[in-house]
Amino acid sequence: MSALYQLGWEAWFSLGIVALCFGLFAFSRAAPDVVTSGGLTLLMLSGILTPGEALAGFSNPGMLTVGVLYVVVTGLTETGAIGWIGPGLLGRPRGPGDARLRLMLPAAGLSAFLNNTPVVAIFIPAVQDWAKRHRLELSRLLIPLSFASIAGGTCTLIGTSTNLVVNGLYTEEIGDANGLGLFEPIWIGLPVTVAVIVFLLSAGHWLLPRRVSATASYEDVRQYTAEMLVQAGSPLVGKSIEDAGLRQLPGLFLIEIERGEQVLPAVSSQEILQAGDRLVFAGILDSVMDLQRTRGLIPATNQVFKLDTPRPGRCFVEAVLSDKSPLIGRSVRAGRFRNRYNAVIIALARNGERVARKIGDIVLAAGDTLLLETRPDFVEQQRNSRDFLLVSRIGDSHPLQHERAPLAIAIVGAMVAVVALGWLSMLEAALLGAGLMILTRCTDGRTARRSPDWQVLVVIATSFGIGAALQKTGAAGVLAGALIDLAGGDPTVTLALVFAATALLTAAATNNVAAVLVFPIAVDAARTIGCAIEPFVLTLMMAASASFATPIGYQTNLMVFNVGGYRFGDFVRIGLPLTLVVGLVTILVVPRVWPLSGP
């Protein structure tokens, strides 16, 4: 402990910055990127870090990989390929617990052989759509997704970069180029993964946060009437309404099906869809927009195909008719809306109620809210028009290119394959995949530029700088050494304190920094008490990956942080006891597989 008193002011200042950042995360509403950027700025202004050291995180391959993967994922979302992943891989859950299990098993399994960062990047939009269709709380799914991918990555050497880093240090230490076997970590990684899944299935019911979205309540919400057509050759043909996922969209009601001259009201969920069916829906805006993105469904009006702009280049707009509009008192069909505005009405709402008529037959009235498919410059041209009280584009939404979905999936599959075979690094493969997505027009340059979550990337990059300050000033090493000194020569206690020291540093800095800092301390401790090195190496691997207690401990935690609407305390509440569980499993299993007794 005397080493603590020998630390310079730089080390104490760095520790103070870390404590300040954690305090602001836990007890304020300050944005995480603002907090870590402020902390890094203070470390640079104090002279502890040079500008090059402080900003090195912005060129870190891990951070850049996450940024490029956002572009790759846009290729999946823009083509609707994400909609294939949810139903095909995750299925139909019977309840919240079953949903978590269906999500965690494939996430953990894939992360054992692939880097868990792209696994989570691909799963996030699929889980968002899956949760909406099955009315699941997204905030109770994304933390399990991140934690299961972290745990699954510990099962093999290639599952996480931390295992590769530690194995590299181990091979240098023992002078054996082979080091650990590819599947050797599975003897502890599999029990840890099982423990994580069981914990999240049981304690998750009480510890996972509930974040109810603004659209979770459908009272007093504007109800649109929309008509969709089942295309010939659609994958929905031959499926029941329920199997097609048209019963699960929240706040949406299928009013009737028009099939030739026949009208089917009060449609059963087991009704089989046929090509050419005209489906009449009433529901909230978000679900009506989901209909527009559903593969195999197209707007029932053929006017959509007469616009002079290709569908991928169009957007969706909400417009409210004014009492000055020349269309008032005329039906949608008679008013020749497309010819007048080069836009097509695909849904309509009136006073928050659904209109029980075909869209083409509805007589327009002042105050009607129209959902339009049109060209992007419609908003600018009609913003000040007397015909409309309000014109607003709906986010960055636009029709999808479903015909390119197989190509987008093939690109992602190829990206994963070249990494698994060791032909390219994850960053190189991601850059190649992003380039192919743009070249093959699965996504466009404008969408690709807007896709990265810059808040997440800034937090990752600045966290590397803060971790570097702990390493440079010696604060991290002294803290880890002081914890291990408490063991008093007992091998099991020493092993437990190696886990505790590594987990603490992982929460404060990053997993790889923690592994590099604690490795020499763990090796020295093992040799001092006459123990084998291997148990300490495997414990270090597990502890460095036990990044559950804070969102900044691991990249996947940061990736789900904003999407799930989480707060810093959400990770502490569920991550801290989970870290203790993982630590207990590690200390119980490791000495039985890799005996502590030295050679």
- Burial of residue 216 (CB within 10 Å: 0-12, 13-18, 19+) is exposed
- The token pair at 239 is 């499926």
Task: With 0.85 as the threshold, say if the pTM is over it.
Answer: no
Q: What are the start-end ranges of the H helices in 440-510?
A: 445-450, 454-472, 475-485, 491-508
pLDDT score recorded for residue 117: 76
Cα–Cα distances in Å, from 560 out to 25, 36, 115, 409, 572? Answer: 16, 18, 16, 22, 15
Calculate the CA dihedral of residues 93, 97, 102, 106 and round it to 10 degrees: 160
Q: Return the amino acid letter for 473.
A: T
Phi/psi of residue 419, each to 5°?
A: -75, -45
Please list, in sequence order, all residues whose beta carbon lies within 8 angstroms of the beta carbon of residue 260, skipping any fewer than 6 positions away: 276
- The token pair at 30 is 């300050």
Classify domain 224-283+296-393 by CATH number. Answer: 3.30.70.1450
- Cα-to-chain-centroid distance, residue 38: 26
Query: Left if phi > 0, otherwise alpha if psi is -120 to 50, otherwise beta: which for 160?
Result: beta
- Rounded Cα distance, 189 and 154, in Å: 5
Rg of the chain over Cα atoms, rounded to whole angstroms, equals: 28
- Burial of residue 480 (CB within 10 Å: 0-12, 13-18, 19+) is buried
Closest CA to 560 of 148, 205, 110, 71: 148
- Rounded Cα distance, 412 and 410, in Å: 5
Is 593 in contact with 188 (CB distance < 8 Å)?
A: yes
Please list, in sequence order, all residues whose beta carbon lies within 8 angstroms of the beta carbon of residue 522, skipping any fewer than 6 positions away: 484, 498, 502, 536, 537, 539, 540
pLDDT score recorded for residue 582: 96
Phi/psi of residue 594, each to 5°?
A: -120, 95
- Rounded Cα distance, 436 and 449, in Å: 15
Is 398 in contact with 391 (CB distance < 8 Å)?
A: no
CB atoms within 10 A of CB 323: 10
pLDDT score recorded for residue 525: 78
Output helix, strand, coil percentages for the chain, rounded to the nearest 5.
55, 10, 35
Q: Indicate the SS3 state at residue 450.
A: helix
Segments of the chain scoring below 70 in pLDDT = 1-5, 26, 62, 82-88, 114-115, 158, 176-178, 212-222, 303-309, 311-312, 352-354, 356, 395-398, 476, 479-481, 483, 508-510, 513, 516-517, 598-599
- Cα-to-chain-centroid distance, residue 419: 21
- Rounded Cα distance, 412 and 434, in Å: 9
- The token pair at 45 is 């202004």
What does 288-342 look like in DSSP terms, one character per residue?
Answer: HHHHHTSTTEEES-GGGGGSSS-GGG-EEEEEEE-TT-TTTTSBTTTTTHHHHHS
Is 348 in contact with 355 (CB distance < 8 Å)?
A: yes
**At what angle are helices 454-472 and 61-78 packed, to 10 degrees?**
170
- Rounded Cα distance, 597 and 599, in Å: 7
- Rounded Cα distance, 162 and 176, in Å: 19
Provide the residue ranges of all domains of the chain, joining segments of one domain with +. Answer: 9-210+455-593, 224-283+296-393
Cα–Cα distances in Å, from 220 out to 284, 351, 403, 418? Answer: 10, 10, 37, 51
- The token pair at 204 is 């998750």
